[in-house]
Amino acid sequence: MHYVDLMSFGDCMRSLILAGGRSSRMGRDKALIEIDGEACIGRIAMALAEAGREPIRIAVAEPEDVESYGAVIDSQIEVEWVLDAEPHSGPIEALVEAFEDPLVESETIQLAPVDVPWVESSLFLSLEDALASSDTLVMPSDGVWNHPLLALVRPELVLSRLVSGDRRPLHLQFAEMPHSILLEDAEMLRNVNQPEDLE
């Protein structure tokens, strides 16, 4: 596991796992829930790594999360950790904070939440193929719902919209940006928000 301070980040972040949520509806930390013997966050980090989206930056709410989450992520995966400036402030604030980092110059960044344990590397590869030159982002859809927190984004273009102060949900804001939609298997995109989602 590669642990670094925020000030030592390079310009090569290729994915961002948003792991600073409260997990209030689940009643326990979603990142550490095990599916087939593997913690959610470990499964997602592996899928990103298999798709070549390293280094993976993981935004967490508390310092102790680095230790507990790091313990369940494969030690061969290149991970960068960052504390949210305002814990539990939500995904929009986490994205703005990450994309405003002057050391980050990635052309694209793959987003991922901690609660999609059935996601596979093939999704991230397909999103990369589906991103058109005119797109600000491409996000997967199960045919009913779009999944903005699994979008592949061009950070500079997304940031220019998010810094306006608009705090409407991301699915609304992303839908107004130049984007493509990738239809994917609903099972792969299924997230776990509450205990019954694990049944």
For residues 113 and 59, what is the distance between their CA atoms, to the nearest angstrom?
A: 10
Structural domain total, the chain: 1
Assigned domain for 199 exists: no
For residues 122 and 136, what is the distance between their CA atoms, to the nearest angstrom?
A: 21
Structure tokens at 189: 């995109």
Q: What is the pLDDT of residue 27?
A: 62
For residues 95 and 197, what is the distance between their CA atoms, to the nearest angstrom?
A: 26
pTM for this prediction: 0.89
The answer to whether 69 and 58 are in contact (CB under 8 A) is: yes
Q: What is the pLDDT of residue 2?
A: 37
The answer to whether 143 and 186 are in contact (CB under 8 A) is: yes
Please give the single-letter amino acid code of residue 173: Q
Q: What is the pLDDT of residue 195?
A: 60
Determine the 3-state secondary structure of 57 from DSSP: strand
Q: What is the pLDDT of residue 84?
A: 84
Assigned domain for 198 exists: no
Assigned domain for 157 exists: yes
Assigned domain for 118 exists: yes
Regions of the chain where pLDDT drops below 70: 1-11, 22-27, 193-199
Containing domain of residue 67, as a range? 6-192
- CATH code, 106: 3.90.550.10
For residues 177 and 98, what is the distance between their CA atoms, to the nearest angstrom?
A: 19
β-partners of residue 18 are 59, 113
Assigned domain for 197 exists: no
Q: What is the pLDDT of residue 194?
A: 63
Assigned domain for 1 exists: no
Assigned domain for 84 exists: yes
Structure tokens at 140: 């997967």
